[in-house]
Amino acid sequence: MQQLNDFFTTLHQYIGGNNWFIFLLLGTGLFFTLYLKFPQIRYFRHAFKVVRGKYDRADDRGDTTHFQSLATALSGTVGTGNIAGVALAVHLGGPAAIFWMLVTAFLGMCTKFVEVTLSHKYREFDEKGMVSGGPMYFMKSRLNIRLNNGKLIKTGYWLGGFFAVATVLSSFGTGSLPQINSISNAMFATFGIEHIITGAVMAILLGLIIIGGIKRIAKVTERLVPFMAIVYFLGAIAVILFNYENIAPSFLSLFTNLFNGTSAVGGFLGAGFAFAFNNGVNRGLFSNEAGQGSAPIAHAAAKAHEPVSEGMVSILEPFIDTMIICFLTGMVLLSSGVWKEKVYNQFQKTDIVVLADTYDEGNEEDVAELSNFLNNRSSISFHTGALQVVDGEIVNENSILHARSLAEGIKVEKGGTAYNGEINVVNGRLVGTTNDLILKGNSLIHSAPLTTIAFTQSFLGDWGKYIVAFGLLLFAFSTAIAWSYYGDRAITYLVGSRYVLFYRIIFVIAFFFASFIDTTIIWNLSMLTVAFMTVPNLIGLLILHKEVKQTVGDYWIGFRKEHRK
């Protein structure tokens, strides 16, 4: 399992974690923002009118209303990224990571507008009148190459096929695996419910919903999304107001260390600009999925006679998902102060690194060396050999990093009792028969557990963790529902609708098993699948930029003629 995690991490460094991916993502959003003259601002008010159905026609074709499509797409984006993803971004990059999440969302509002417009324009209907749409369809129709002799090379068909395969993989890496994993972790931490029980119950519910297809999914999400957003919003406001004296400093911290990184503070060992920038953009994409090409699959099902009108609706997605919900989560984490505090927790073995030497947080040179290592600016020596454990305590004096912090008060257990024996370590990583060992101690934490603790820092007290558990349950579950639809539309493109049921069965089974798999591995897998979808989608959007501008211009000409009557 550790080798698999290392492979995912290494591969991610060359794809989604590399600067070229970041610049492609932000560059595409910036290009269209300037090229289309800030549509995310100019069309924002109009988008609300469209989503209310003000301009609907009785003969509009599709499976869902504008609001249902928005709710389904939001259910696919509002998920673990808003609770666990924001906490992970702050854990890795400090407060400045939230700023870059917001920048990604603002530019993403335009990217989302473009990708949804094109996907809705080139959607297809089957013999039963059901819609299939998404980037793979505009790729198939518009990205072919015609040679001088008139011969057509179906490059668009194969590019669409690559995107569809990536969508299927991402439906597991984004929509299924991390969602149930976060749910089961939250249920275990809050109520003590075993991971496998949570997985079994949620898998059964998921199967009952997705078997009904997009119409049943839309009916569930249009009720679920507003309810879960309101509950989470009220809980977040309660924490922020309780820590009112930290509101201004927390907000300013988003900008004060924007270009030089966040210094070491508390148990946080510091984060440079590159880490804040990279993780802010990546987690922003994971949260709102602008540019990934997933949401256009849901929007393609909307009843609309003009593809641009559905593009307008999609502008609201990154705004609601990231600029409201993610920002609130970030302010909860910063104002409560828990992001830089060590807490007693059970260690995840993939987050453990055993160092060759002993380090002291009170020593500035030690902190600087560890900070440089964690920010990939220098290397450090790892321990190889055996750790001796007596009555649950590690005898060796080697420092141990857990969750990018120096772990303290470590206890080792086996079968619920103090462990006596050895722990084998190779190049800093635990190896051998360590699966049945449990390590506990004080360290920083990340993802959903960090947000859970932050929500207890208000007048709600321990009741706050129930809001996170409940919110995570609804957010993550609704994401899995939406992604099952994205995956089955991709399967339809690749091999036809007859294999959709087979895909849904596998999706539900994987959903169950992911409830008790290591969280770190799942996050690393999900970031890979996101990149595999995003790259071909963004390339396709840039190639068709002139068509997008023409389509938008035609929409406004027709709109003014129709409503001048």
Average pLDDT of the residues in 364-383 = 91
Which CA distances in Å does 533 have to 411, 435, 521?
Answer: 42, 34, 19
Beta strands in 247-347 (DSSP E): 343-346
Average pLDDT of the residues in 504-526 = 80
- Residue among 398, 325, 309, 386 nearest 77 (CA): 325
The more confidently predicted of residues 399 and 462 is: 399
Structure tokens at 547: 């068509």
The confidence band for 277, taking pLDDT boundaries of 50, 70 and 90, is confident
Check whether 519 has a pLDDT greater than 60. no
What architecture (CATH level 2) is domain 7-341+455-550?
A: Up-down Bundle (1.20)
29-43, 245-259, 452-466, 488-502, range with greatest mean pLDDT:
29-43
- Computed over every residue of the chain, the mean pLDDT equals 88
Instruction: Give pLDDT, residue 417.
Output: 94
- Lowest mean pLDDT segment, chosen from 260-274, 278-292, 306-320, 424-438: 278-292
Q: What percent of the chain has pLDDT over 90?
A: 46
Q: What is the DSSP string of 66-95?
A: HHHHHHHHHHHHSSHIIIIIHHHHHHHH-T
Residues 60-70 have pLDDT tens digits of: 888 888 888 88
Check whether 390 has a pLDDT greater than 90. yes
- Lowest mean pLDDT segment, chosen from 91-105, 125-139, 514-528: 514-528
Instruction: Give pLDDT, residue 389.
Output: 94
Sheet holding 437-443, edge to edge: 343-346, 437-443, 408-414, 417-418
Q: Residue 410: what residue type?
A: I
Residues 204-227 have pLDDT tens digits of: 999 988 887 777 887 887 888 788
Average pLDDT of the residues in 513-524 = 72
Average pLDDT of the residues in 398-406 = 94
Instruction: Give pLDDT, residue 518.
Output: 66
- How many Cβ atoms sit within 10 Å of the Cβ of residue 196? 13
The confidence band for 192, taking pLDDT boundaries of 50, 70 and 90, is confident
d(CA 176, CA 522): 10
- Residue among 30, 552, 555 nearest 290 (CA): 30
**Per-residue DSSP letter, 355:** B
Check whether 388 has a pLDDT greater than 80. yes
Q: What is the DSSP string of 185-237?
A: HHHHHHH---HHHHHHHHHHHHHHHHTTHHHHHHHHHHHHHHHHHHHHHHHHH
Check whether 399 has a pLDDT greater than 70. yes
Residues 262-274 have pLDDT tens digits of: 888 888 888 888 8
Q: What are residue 501's DSSP bridge partners? A: none
Residues 25-37 have pLDDT tens digits of: 899 999 999 999 9
Instruction: Give pLDDT, residue 543.
Output: 94
- Lowest mean pLDDT segment, chosen from 244-248, 284-288, 295-299, 437-441: 284-288
Instruction: Give pLDDT, residue 520.
Output: 64
Containing H/E element for 110?
Answer: helix 96-121
Structure tokens at 444: 């920083």
Q: Residue 426, SS3?
A: strand
The more confidently predicted of residues 52 and 213 is: 52
Instruction: Give pLDDT, residue 289.
Output: 82
Instruction: Give pLDDT, residue 127.
Output: 67
d(CA 143, CA 151): 14
- How many Cβ atoms sit within 10 Å of the Cβ of residue 41? 13
Which CA distances in Å does 281 have to 23, 102, 231, 329?
Answer: 10, 9, 27, 16
d(CA 515, CA 508): 11
Structure tokens at 405: 């912090």
The confidence band for 565, taking pLDDT boundaries of 50, 70 and 90, is low
Rounded to 10°, the helix 247-256/96-121 angle is: 70
Residues 351-367 have pLDDT tens digits of: 899 999 999 998 999 99
d(CA 465, CA 360): 32
Check whether 244 has a pLDDT greater than 90. yes
Average pLDDT of the residues in 485-507 = 91
Every domain of the chain and the residues it spans:
7-341+455-550, 343-443
- How many Cβ atoms sit within 10 Å of the Cβ of residue 75? 28
Check whether 83 has a pLDDT greater than 80. yes
Instruction: Give pLDDT, residue 40.
Output: 95
Check whether 496 has a pLDDT greater than 80. yes
d(CA 306, CA 253): 43
